Structures are given as C-alpha cells and as structure tokens.
Chains A and B, each alone.
Chain A
C-alpha cells in the first residue's frame, strides 16, 4: 500500500467536500439564514473522518447502504457542531455528501495501490472543483440580477444579504419592479426599438454582405487579394475611434437621435465580419453546381438567389445570429447617438436609469433581466449556429 497516495487522496477529497459545503452555506446565507462562521477547520476534520471511514470500509458493504448511512451520520454531526439551521439546509448537506461519497465509490485500499493514482485523484477532484467554480463564478451574477429584481428597496437596505423571495406576497407584489419599468419607464417601447434595430441590422447586413461575399469568394477581379485582406484589418478598428467623426457628421446631417442612423452604423460595423464569414462558406460550395446554373442561363442574381443562398443557410443563420447579438448588445453608439428617451434602445434605456441616482436598484436589475433574457434564450435555442458564428467572429469582441 502506498502511504503517499492515501494521504493525498484523503486531503484532496476532504478539502473538496469542505469547500463545497462552505459554498452551500454561503448560498444559504443569501436565503436569509444568519450564519456568521464557516467553521472551516472543524468541518475539514469531519470530512476527513468521513473519507477515512469511507476508504477503510471500501467494498465490504452494499454501496448504497454505505453511502446512505455515512451521509446521514455526517449531516447529523455537521448540524450538531454548527449553528442551528432549518431542515432544508441539512437536507442539502446530506445530498451533497451523498453525491460526494458516491464519487468515492471505487476508492478502497486496493485501488489506491495503482501507479500515478495520486495524480489522477488530484486531477479528478480538481476537475470537480473547477466545474463548481466555473458554474458559480458565471451563474452567480445572473442569479443576483434575477433575485434582486424581485426585492424591494427597504428589504435590501435592511439586510443586503437576504435575497430570498417572499412567496407569501401576491404575484403583483413580487413582479412589481417589472410592472414599474414597463409602465413608468416605458420599457415596452424600448424592447420594440431594440428588436427593430437588431432585426433591421441583420436584414440589411445580409442584403449587402451576401453579394459582396459571393464576389470575393467566386469572381476574379482586380484588387481581390487587397480587398480580402483589408476586410479583416478594417474589422480590427474599434468603434471608439469612429465615434467622434460620426457624432459630428451625424449631428450636422440630423441623423442623431434616429433609429435609422443607428441602423446604418451597426450595418457598416458588422459588414466586414459578415462578409468574411460568408465568403469562407461560399468557397466550400462546389463550383460545378453554379456552372450547371450558368448553363441553364441563370445570371449572377439567379445563381445567388437559387443556388448559393439555399445551400448556405446554416452559414447565413450563424451570421444572422451573430449580427443580431452584436446589435442587441451594442452600447457605445446608442450612448453617443441617442439622447431623446423616445428613441432609446434597451441598453441605452438601462444606462439612462442609472443616470438618476434615486432609481431603486431592483428596477435597474429588472431592466437588466429584460435585456439579458431574450439574448440568452436565443443563444440557448440556437446554440449550435451561434457558437460557430462566435468562433469565426471571435477575432472581435
């Protein structure tokens, strides 16, 4: 038996369990439980005890019975040594330990005798920890965003870490912030404007990009290599260096404060990447299909409409979703160009809300949920297309 790998296994797994339980405790604090001490050392000792028993028992008993009894005794001990806590918290601890001991299934003294086993085990627990870490780090702000939007200003001021939702109130009370932002702050209108701008940008971009991408992909003309390299270079120039000249020119032309002005700018800034992505796909379509079309007497217009577009629908979907996302999330130009509340996009409207320091934060968060939710739903639904769009377009960001 290798002593070193035993020690490493014990330490890695018990530290992992302790951290998971600490995270659970912190999350419970946000539900209004008044814990003030994580008891890290004590819980580490408890976990160590659990892992040692688990490993030494090994496969001598029925696995399910073993993990059940062990988890139950662990959670009873845990509840006994820590502050008073409600039932659901202890049940959570029990489930976590159950999951953990199930992971330890194959670990017994014999298994720990293999080569490189300590490295493997550390790697395994690191991966598990990384899953928890990434999920927490990413989802936590989104969780706070949603939960805060259901709170009231006074409740947040009295206890800022109690983010529990009071379900005893009626549904209008719970969703009050949403009613307020739609009624008082006119968010319905901003949703419409944002959708109009985003969809419009997608359509105009496609209208311009498909013919241009076809020309770059298929036709021979003077300056072709120059053009295709400059597409990417142009794409690298950021919006911030365009803002001042565009602001001055648009003010003088009276295009500021108009949705059309935004449409023009969004289209132009997304065109290079749209052309770049589409031409790559067009090149992969066999030339013979087009030649057949040419023989049938089609001109370039017919070829694009009847052959190229139907064959490259997946690429067009990727480009559309990517452009939609950029237009929906865009902030800089809408900040610069729009100062009349009648023409605000959602992003600009939320920014406008913060301009008034008196605006309660739950309204701000409700607005944030309203702008975030549609784009996340679209992302989840069309993930395949958007991911390929992102990968191709992620030179930008």
Chain B
C-alpha cells in the first residue's frame, strides 16, 4: 500500500516539475552546452542564417490579349555563402488556366506548376518565366494569380550541425587579444565594485537602522538605483558626466574646481601627481566602478539591514552600561555580528558583478579601458561578427564562474544555509 502511495507521489512530483525543468533545460542548460560546441567552430554571424530558396512573383499583361499573361518569378538563393541542393518549386494556378510552352524542368499537374531546379550555388539568381492562357479565352484576373504565393524548398547544410572543429577560437582568445589585460580589467571592476557596494551598504544600513524623521522614506529611496531600469539610469549618468555640456563637468568648471572639463567616461588614464610620484588612474574604469557601486549598493544595504535588525538590543544596552561610544559599539558589536553575512554577500555579489554586461555596455561600450569579459563576448560575437570567438569567451566565463562557485560552496556553503 505504502509503496503505491509513494509511487503516486513520485509520479505527481515529476508531472509537476516537468514543464519548468524542460523550459529551464532548453533555455539555460542547453545554451551553456551549445557554447562548447560553437566555440570549437569557425562560425560568423552571417553563417547562421539557413539559406533559403526565394521567389518574387511578378504578373505582367501581354499586349493585345487579356486572356494571356506572363508570370515572372525572380528566383534567388538567399545566402551568398552556401549552396542549396534539390530545390523544388510549386505554384497553383486558378481553374481553366493553363501554362503554355512550359520549361523543361517543370510539369503541370492538377492545376499546379511543379518544377525541380536542382542545385543552386551561393548567390544564385534566375528570372523564371511562365506564360499562361485561359482555356475559355476569357480575361484573366491577374490580381488573383498574384495573390497565390509559390512554395519553394531545398536542402542545405546547416553550418552549426557539421562536424568540422577548430581550436582557432581559443588560440585567438588566449594569445591574440590581450587576454591578460582583459582578465585584469574584469577583476578590478568586479573586486572594487563589490567592495565599494558592500562598504556603502554598511553605511546606509547603519544609518537607516537608527531612528530619525523620514526613515521609511529614506529606506525607499535607497532602493531606487536598483529598481530603476538600467537603460534610463545609464543614459542619465552619461549625460551627467558628458564632457561638453554635462551637468557635473559644467558645475566643476563653473566653481573653478577644474579648468577644463574631464571626459570621465572616455579617458583611459588620469595622471595624478602625488608628492612627485606620477600615478596613472584608470579613469573610465573608475567611473564605471562608481556607477556600479551606486547601482548595486542597495542590495548589500537590504541584506545588511535585515541582519542588523536581528541583532539583540541588549547587546547595545550592555555596551551603554559599560560606557562605550557609538564607534566602539559599531566595531565591537555590530561588525562581528555581520561578518558572516558580509562574506556571503561578497561572494555572491562578486559572482554577479563578474557577469555584469549592461552597465558597462551602456556607459562606455567597452571603450577606453573598460573592456571586461562579458563585453568581450558581445564584441566578438556581434561587433566583429565572429560567433565562434564569442562562444569561446563565454566558455572562459563559465569556467571561471564554476571555479568561483566551488570556492563559494567550499568556504561558506554551509553557513549560507543557516542564515
């Protein structure tokens, strides 16, 4: 009895799970594996269109006779790269209308013109003509004939399904494209973005955890940068930082802080003189990191605030009795209480910042020293139009991610479940 019950339970569970699992498998897991396949191939953006035979139908009247018509089909192979084999064609004619002097490749059966065109090489074009005649010598409705669309089909190789593989993409990723610089930029961006967001999050959480007038309002607006759409926010910031007429540069020039506007998003290095030492600051990258911090500290804030509110009040009361000031209370009570959540937050945010695409893409497009791995996927795949290279970079990202996750689960996986 119990075994049948558990069987029913199992079957129910699988039925309930099936749709979700299938969808996730098709849209998330399959592409991750497909990346591996594509990354070993030499595929460009233009190769992924499957070549199709196409026909444009033009109907022309013949002078002095309205019972006869000429139909022109402008035939072509949609691809300029690949051949199509065994192209077949068929088009329906209205009743009582018959073709005259039909092409050898075609036959007329049950009011249908059927043709076999054989192989079309890449970029093939032909103007194919049929003359038709009304059997009863009545006028032909040319609009009606035009409204019928011809059917075409043919066989072609799908470049994605062939089995030619190459290691060229990976060679290019690691050797030709300044891979080390790309990696370092990604790590700078990720590390400082995460650290800054968490530090700012601690400040904000500490602030909102006190009582003051307008506290709930403050808590709402602190989340605005994260809730707002990235497109709108990124463009607003681009406008604010614009060197020609951006608000921030104009204000700084107006108050004499700087002499010339600084192109905060378009300048790779800023040279700073400190005590005779020349420091090169990655200016555009720093700006992008600041945007990143601005946009994602709300998440750190939410997490830390939730933890702060769970710290028992009597700890602070005891500290008051001992005569500890607010800074001491923070360093000796608050900080030890939130270290666990901070480490988890750091790992998770690190992984997510590592994958950030939209923010940098919208602010700089990866120019002036802000090219990170995710941007590189887009650039290789869609700007250079080399899908294979893009996939190879994706694979590098996935491998690094898996490494981070293993570290994450080894270090704090168990703690994460407790919180």
Q: Residues of A at under 8 Å CB distance from B?
A: 26, 29-30, 35-38, 115-116, 119-120, 123, 127, 130-131, 134-135, 137-142, 144-145, 148, 156-157, 160-161, 163, 208-209, 211-212, 214-216, 219-222, 224, 227, 233-234, 236-249, 251-252, 264-265, 267-269, 271-272, 275, 300, 325, 328-329, 331-332, 336, 346-347, 350-351, 354, 361, 364-365, 367-369, 371-372, 375-376, 379-380, 383, 386-387, 390-391, 394-397
Contact B10 A271 (CB under 8 A): no
Instruction: Tell me, rounded to whole Å, the shortest Cβ–Cβ distance linking B367 to chain A.
Output: 15
Contact B203 A244 (CB under 8 A): no
Instruction: Tell me, rounded to whole Å, the shortest Cβ–Cβ distance linking B79 to chain A.
Output: 13
7 A-B pairs besides A127-B207, A141-B236, A241-B32 with CB distance below 8 A are A120-B326, A134-B204, A135-B221, A211-B17, A227-B21, A241-B35, A351-B362
B:259-310 near A, CB below 8 Å: 294, 296, 299, 302-303, 306
Q: Cβ of B34 < 8 Å from any Cβ of A?
A: yes
Chain B contacts for A145, CB-based, 8 A: 232, 236
Instruction: Tell me, rounded to whole Å, the shortest Cβ–Cβ distance linking B266 to chain A.
Output: 14
Instruction: Tell me, rounded to whole Å, the shortest Cβ–Cβ distance linking A307 to chain B.
Output: 15
Q: Cβ of B59 < 8 Å from any Cβ of A?
A: no
Contact B405 A142 (CB under 8 A): no
Instruction: Tell me, rounded to whole Å, the shortest Cβ–Cβ distance linking A329 to chain B.
Output: 4
Chain A contacts for B362, CB-based, 8 A: 331, 351
Chain A contacts for B245, CB-based, 8 A: 156-157, 160
Instruction: Tell me, rounded to whole Å, the shortest Cβ–Cβ distance linking B76 to chain A.
Output: 19
Contact A116 B325 (CB under 8 A): yes
User: What separation, in Å, do the CA atoms of A140 and B251 have in the docked complex?
Assistant: 13
Contact B14 A329 (CB under 8 A): no
Number of interface residues of B (CB under 8 A): 95
User: What separation, in Å, do the CA atoms of A35 and B237 have in the docked complex?
Assistant: 24
Contact A268 B27 (CB under 8 A): yes
Chain A residue at minimum C-beta to C-beta distance from B37: A245
User: What separation, in Å, do the CA atoms of A144 and B401 have in the docked complex?
Assistant: 37
Chain B residue at minimum C-beta to C-beta distance from A141: B236
Contact A361 B239 (CB under 8 A): yes
Contact A130 B207 (CB under 8 A): yes
User: What separation, in Å, do the CA atoms of A375 and B231 have in the docked complex?
Assistant: 13
Q: Which of A120, A161, A219, A248 contacts B13 (CB 8 A)?
A: A219
Known interface pairs A127-B210, A368-B232. Does A397 touch B226 (Cβ–Cβ under 8 Å)? yes
Contact A240 B232 (CB under 8 A): no
User: What separation, in Å, do the CA atoms of A239 and B32 have in the docked complex?
Assistant: 10
Chain A contacts for B336, CB-based, 8 A: none
User: What separation, in Å, do the CA atoms of A300 and B17 have in the docked complex?
Assistant: 13
Known interface pairs A134-B222, A252-B50. Does A243 touch B207 (Cβ–Cβ under 8 Å)? no
Instruction: Tell me, rounded to whole Å, the shortest Cβ–Cβ distance linking A254 to chain B.
Output: 10
Chain A contacts for B391, CB-based, 8 A: 244-245
Contact B398 A237 (CB under 8 A): yes
Chain B contacts for A216, CB-based, 8 A: 17
**Stretch of B115-123, B173-181, B351-359 at the chain-chain interface:** B351-359
Q: Give per-residue flags for B216-231: 1 if the beta carbon is below 8 A from chain A beta carbons, else 0.
A: 0010111111111111
Chain B contacts for A376, CB-based, 8 A: 224, 227-228
Q: Residues of B at under 8 Å CB distance from A?
A: 6, 9-10, 12-14, 16-17, 19-21, 23-24, 26-32, 34-35, 38, 43, 48-50, 158, 160, 203-204, 207, 210, 212, 214, 218, 220-233, 235-237, 239-240, 245-247, 250-251, 254-256, 294, 296, 299, 302-303, 306, 323-327, 348-349, 351-352, 355, 357-358, 362, 374, 377-378, 381-382, 387, 390-391, 394, 397-398, 401, 405
Instruction: Tell me, rounded to whole Å, the shortest Cβ–Cβ distance linking B161 to chain A.
Output: 10
User: What separation, in Å, do the CA atoms of A197 and B29 have in the docked complex?
Assistant: 23
Contact A240 B239 (CB under 8 A): no
Chain A contacts for B355, CB-based, 8 A: 238-241
Of all A-B residue pairs in the complex, the 8 with the closest CB atoms, nearest first, are: A268-B27, A238-B355, A368-B232, A245-B31, A119-B325, A245-B34, A160-B245, A212-B20
Chain B residue at minimum C-beta to C-beta distance from A158: B245
Contact B50 A211 (CB under 8 A): no
Contact A137 B294 (CB under 8 A): yes
Chain A residue at minimum C-beta to C-beta distance from B326: A123
Chain A contacts for B224, CB-based, 8 A: 138-139, 142, 376, 379
**Candidate in B48, B232, B237, B390 with the most chain A CB atoms within 10 angstroms:** B232
Contact A244 B239 (CB under 8 A): no
User: What separation, in Å, do the CA atoms of A144 and B351 have in the docked complex?
Assistant: 32
